[in-house]
């Protein structure tokens, strides 16, 4: 296919065909060597502006560069399309497709690993939160234990005071008995006299 082939000439290939944007939504497997407008000499589109140069990664045209209107994917797209490179051989296409798929597979695995990393990080944070909760609970428990110990000391003190009071009451009872006996003796003696 010559460089003069136009968009209308390749439109029969449809989605996933010759036009680079048509493959299944995955990014370019290799970074662009230059930006879409950083090439020379300039190719002008029908709007008279410099056309963007992209690389197709479709199954039909892997690795083939093409020019496209800068305003493509907007309402004022002039529809300009032009291949920059000759179509490569079937063998080369198969090799490029295999390499493209290998890179896509690797990036998919990379993405999966990233997702697993994020899950792991979230779990680690969860564990940290639980650890803090347990630490708080242990501190609360220690405080309660100290409170109980203080209360036990108060109880022991009160018990000791109660014992002292009981001793006083016992002594008072003995004294009363003694007084009563003395009075009885005095009364008996008075009666005899």
Compute the least distance from the CB of residue 100 to Zn ion, in Å. 28
Burial-class residue 18 by CB neighbours within 10 Å (0-12, 13-18, 19+): buried
Compute the least distance from the CB of residue 36 to Zn ion, in Å. 13
In the stretch 38-77, what mask flags binding to Zn ion with x, by CB under 5 A?
-------x-x---------------------x--------
Which is nearer to Zn ion, 19 or 60 (by Cβ)? 19
Compute the least distance from the CB of residue 52 to Zn ion, in Å. 9
- Cα–Cα distances in angstroms (integers) from residue 124 to residues 36, 115, 119, in the given order: 43, 14, 9
Which is nearer to Zn ion, 43 or 103 (by Cβ)? 43
82 binds Zn ion (CB under 5 A): no
**Residue 25: DSSP 8-state:** S
- Cα–Cα distances in angstroms (integers) from residue 83 to residues 6, 18, 23, 41, 70, in the given order: 8, 9, 17, 14, 15
Tell me the number of residues near Zn ion by CB under 5 A.
Answer: 5
């Amino acid at each position: 296919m010559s460089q003069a082939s136009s968009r209308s000439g390749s439109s029969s290939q449809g989605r996933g065909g010759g036009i680079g944007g048509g493959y299944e939504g995955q990014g370019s497997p290799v970074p662009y060597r230059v930006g879409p407008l950083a090439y020379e000499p300039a190719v002008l589109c029908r709007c008279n502006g410099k056309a963007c140069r992209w690389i197709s990664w479709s199954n039909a045209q892997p690795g083939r560069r093409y020019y496209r209107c800068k305003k493509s994917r907007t309402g004022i797209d002039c529809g300009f399309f032009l291949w920059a490179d000759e179509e490569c051989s079937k063998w080369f296409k198969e090799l490029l497709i295999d390499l493209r798929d290998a890179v896509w597979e690797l990036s998919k695995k990379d993405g999966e690993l990233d997702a697993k990393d994020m899950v792991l990080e979230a779990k680690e944070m969860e564990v940290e939160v639980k650890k803090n909760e347990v630490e708080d609970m242990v501190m609360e428990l220690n405080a309660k234990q100290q409170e109980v110990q203080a209360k036990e000391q108060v109880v022991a003190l009160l018990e000791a005071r109660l014992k002292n009071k009981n001793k006083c009451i016992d002594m008072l009872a003995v004294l009363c008995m003694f007084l009563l006996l003395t009075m009885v003796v005095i009364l008996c003696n008075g009666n005899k006299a």
